[in-house]
Amino acid sequence: MKKKYLLSFALLLSIVFSGCGRNAEGPSAERPEINESSAEVVQDRHEESDSEMESGAAEISGTEELPENTSEDMANRDPEASAAEGQNGETDTPVVYMTTDLSSQGLMDIYQALSASPSGKIAVKLSTGEPGSNYLRTELIGELVESLEGTIVECNTAYGGSRANTAMHYQVAEEHGYTAIADVDIMDEEGSITLPVTGGDNLTENYVGAHFANYDYYVVLSHFKGHSMAGFGGAIKNISIGIASSEGKSHIHSGGTGGSMWGGSQDAFLESMAEAGKSVVDYLDGNIVYINVMNRLSVDCDCDGSPAEPDMHDIGILASYDPVALDQACVDLVYEAEDGQSLIDRIESRNGLHTLEQAEKIGLGYREYRLVSIDG
């Protein structure tokens, strides 16, 4: 992967700060039709020249603090505009907030940095995780989930395991402590609904849990980690495979062919995750925000009850209104880590970066972003 560098401070001053197009007052009155069925650091994704480096750009590390002048500039800006910047217009760059404080308070702080204004019925989308996995513990997420007064939502698996049917899945959610901090809704316990997919190369429709449309606002809380098929899992996987019903998961894995979920084209699967995620985002029309927790960074996902032990350090918590920028920032931090080689190998062996390429291509988000530390 190409090495990334900070753009010069002069470029920072040239960027137009603008509010986002998200609707903080509730869901849009016009959403795509759904049909019932059974079933202030800037990173540039492009390579920069040596002359640009010599003119003021500097190499970034995952825990580097903001330069004093950039930090001061951010402090003088309106918080809501800062959080939302980059969401409405191709010339703007999405903001990704970061803290190294992997605690309940750190999670609260990163959410508050977004200045989100959810209304209506709130869903907290997370992976309940297989028993024995690195699922997000309630001691970390409980305070935030309770403060949102939302419902934890998830869908059944398509591969077996302890969450393949609704009754078993609710039992796992209880054992993992989730029912103690919020109501839990297995969204596909009553089947699926379909969302249209626009601009995709593989999917024309996406099957999500039938209860998906019951919620007005989604807080997508993801454990960033490796994955045996996708290479890595973060926000994009959580809104695609994660919100897909059991039949929808098979549909995505097959690349929309309806064939075997294990024997399809790898790139078609990766592309289909991005396409399914875009259908969810299009439907929600801005009523969604994303948080990635970078701890217990195993090469295996939370769908694995016997994951490999992490061999790299915990990194922090990141949040954004752009799922592509958020996942790209997490990937970059792994690549910049001195002990990240195992996870890098997992990502590259599955061509995992192709999901980000397809996501940007179809307009799900941007791989270019500003990484802003909220740590004092």
Domains located in the chain, CATH noted: 60-373 (3.40.50.11440)
Q: Which of 122, 175, 172 is nearest to 152 (CA)?
A: 122
Distance in angstroms (rounded) separating the CA atoms of residues 254 and 125:
23
* Alpha helix positions (H), the chain: 9-14, 50-54, 68-75, 79-84, 104-113, 138-148, 166-175, 235-239, 246-253, 266-284, 323-336, 341-349, 353-361
Dihedral of the alpha carbons of 223, 139, 213, 117, in degrees to the nearest 10: -100
* Alpha carbons 164 and 150: distance in angstroms, whole number: 24
pLDDT of residue 375: 98
What separation in angstroms does the CA of 165 have from each of 190, 241, 261?
Answer: 11, 16, 18
Between CA 21 and CA 251 the distance in angstroms is: 31
Integer Rg of the chain from CA: 19
Query: Parallel, antiparallel, or unpaired for β 41-43 and 369-373?
Result: antiparallel
Residues 6+ apart with CB under 8 A from 83: 95, 97, 113, 114, 115, 116, 321
| CA–CA distance, 126 with 239 (Å, rounded to integer) | 9
Short-list 232, 153, 160, CA closest to 188: 153
d(CA 371, CA 42): 6
Sign of CA dihedral 22, 11, 326, 272: positive
State residue 34's pLDDT score: 54
Local structure of residue 10 (DSSP, 8 states): H
In angstroms, the CA 271 to CA 320 distance is 22
List pLDDT tens digits, range 149-200. 999 999 999 988 999 999 999 999 999 999 999 999 999 999 999 999 999 9
DSSP conformation letters of 313-349: ---EEEEES-HHHHHHHHHHHHHHSTT-HHHHHHHHH
Q: Which run of H or of E encompasses 221?
A: strand 217-223
Q: What is the pLDDT of residue 89?
A: 40
Strand partners, 183: 151
Q: CA-CA distance, 46 to 82, in Å (whole number)?
A: 24
Which pTM value belongs to this model? 0.80
- pLDDT tens digit at each of 376 positions of the chain: 433 333 333 333 333 333 333 333 333 334 545 554 433 443 443 333 333 333 332 333 333 333 332 223 323 333 334 344 444 444 489 999 999 999 999 999 999 999 999 999 999 999 999 999 999 999 999 999 999 999 999 999 998 899 999 999 999 999 999 999 999 999 999 999 999 999 999 999 999 999 999 999 999 999 999 999 999 999 999 999 999 999 999 999 999 998 888 888 999 999 999 999 999 999 999 999 999 999 999 999 999 999 999 999 999 999 999 999 999 999 999 999 999 999 999 999 999 999 999 999 999 999 999 999 999 8
CA separation for the pair 122, 241 (Å, rounded): 20
Do the bridges between strand 95-99 and strand 369-373 make them parallel or antiparallel, or are there none, so unpaired?
parallel
SS (H, E, C) 148-217: HCCEEEECCCCCCHHHCCHHHHHHHHHHCCHHHCCEEEECCCCCEEEEECCCCCCCCEEEEECCHHHCCE
Q: How far apart are alpha carbons 124 and 301 in whole angstroms?
A: 19
The answer to whether residues 256 and 272 touch, using CB atoms and an 8 Å cutoff, is: yes
pLDDT at 75: 30
Rounded CA-CA distance 123/223 in Å is: 16
